[in-house]
Structure 1
Amino acid sequence: IEEIPVKVAVRIRPLLCKEVLHNHQVCVRVIPNSQQVIVGRDRVFTFDFVFGKNSTQYEVYNTCIKPLVLSLIEGYNATVFAYGQTGSGKTYTIGGGHIASVVEGQKGIIPRAIQEIFQSISEHPSIDFNVKVSYIEVYKEDLRDLLELETSMKDLHIREDEKGNTGKVAHLISCLQ
């Protein structure tokens, strides 16, 4: 059996202004100089990476994602999976604020990875690169293709072949810039 390394990172989201106004309290604390968090009074959890409420997009990207991007450029596959309840900060970490107008410091994982991948491709004009990307949302057991522009085509239907393999047909899209 081939070993596939999986690393888990946790990022603590700071309270939003409206949460502060309603006297909400932070219920998760980072244990300094460790990869652990405390939830509530005494429940301790360990992760591969822990980012506190003051962590930056740059810090998250450089620590967790950049090594994956560098291995992608060398020909390996990589997956980044953001998981959490609604409002936990997944969209901000993955994309940044409003993706079309994100300032440099707020750029999330995707804009940073895309920039780095295509920068590397431009530095190696003699090599042919084939880039395939999926951007999928799983919400209430429904899958949606977030790169699909046509609303009617957003819902994904995963198919299983006779060998039990699952997959989705890839579609060519052009740059949205």
Structure 2
Amino acid sequence: MSEVCVQVAARIRPLLPREVLHNHQVCVRVVPGSAQVMLGSDRLFSFDHAFGPTDSQDEVYESCVRPLVESLVDGYNATVFCYGQTGSGKTYTVGGGHLGSGGYGGIIDRVAQDVFLLLGEKRKNSDGVEAKVRVSYIELYKEELRDLLELHTVHKELHIREDERGNTGNEKTLRMCRCL
């Protein structure tokens, strides 16, 4: 794994059908051959990766997430953090399967497939390898946390906490950390 702990990628989603219908125009574009995004005609922003509306789910996953999954299977922690205003394309990138993505899965589908594939390969090649998979899918919206994998989670049930060792997380994940 490389020495860089945090990388930032920008993804510009395709226009929605209703945006095309109303003749909306793309005001943000990737500068060809770079990891820069141009806003309007003159404002440049640099990232570790930049993806335009024609870049596939596969390109985003292979460039940004697959290396994390490979490191995860080797015992490192990994986090994919998606940030943006409502309608910016977080669900398109994370969930996939709509908005003209050709039915290809997003990050979640691909991570699930690769984690179990890589763990299976690791188990095949080693004696006694045992793995436990734990997943969190947390939404932070208007300063309220919600675990999207728990059907009965009410917005205000989860709180960000720090334990005595300086670990930060919600109460549920900190309880799991103490159990290890």
Q: Same fold (TM over 0.5)?
A: yes
Report if aligned partners of 2:145, 2:155 keep a CA contact under 8 Å in 1.
no
Report if aligned partners of 2:144, 2:156 keep a CA contact under 8 Å in 1.
no
Flag the 1:95–1:75 CA change in 2: closer, same or farther, 3 A: same
For structure 1, which segment, 62-71 or 12-21, has the greater mean C-alpha deviation from structure 2 after superposition?
Answer: 12-21
Is 1:84 the counterpart of 2:84 in the alignment? yes
Residue identity matched to 1:110:
I
Flag the 1:46–1:21 CA change in 2: closer, same or farther, 3 A: same
Deviations 1:53-107 (A, max 9, x none): 1011111111110000000011111110000111111011111137xxxx98520
Q: Distance in 2 between matches of 1:150 and 1:112?
A: 26
Deviations 1:116-162 (A, max 9, x none): 11112222153011222111001111111011022448841223445
Q: Distance in 2 between matches of 1:166 and 1:67?
A: 24
Q: Distance in 2 between matches of 1:14 and 1:91?
A: 13
Q: Distance in 2 between matches of 1:33 and 1:152?
A: 45
Structure 1: state its 5+ residue gaps.
Answer: 173-177
Report if aligned partners of 1:145, 1:155 keep a CA contact under 8 Å in 2.
no
Structure 2: state its 5+ residue gaps.
Answer: none
Flag the 1:139–1:27 CA change in 2: closer, same or farther, 3 A: same
Residue identity matched to 1:39:
L
Residue identity matched to 1:130:
K
Q: Distance in 2 between matches of 1:153 and 1:17?
A: 31
1:114 corresponds in structure 2 to 112
Q: Distance in 1 between matches of 2:23 and 2:66?
A: 37
Residue identity matched to 1:97:
G
Report SS of the residue matched to 2:172: coil
Q: Distance in 1 between matches of 2:73 and 2:55?
A: 26
2:64 corresponds in structure 1 to 64
Superposition RMSD in Å: 2.4
TM-score w.r.t. length of structure 1: 0.84
Q: Distance in 2 between matches of 1:136 and 1:31?
A: 32
Q: In percent, how many aligned pairs have the same letter?
A: 62
Residues 131-146 of structure 1: pairs in structure 2 closer than 5 A = 131-146=133-148
Report SS of the residue matched to 1:169: helix
1:175 corresponds in structure 2 to none
Report SS of the residue matched to 2:78: coil
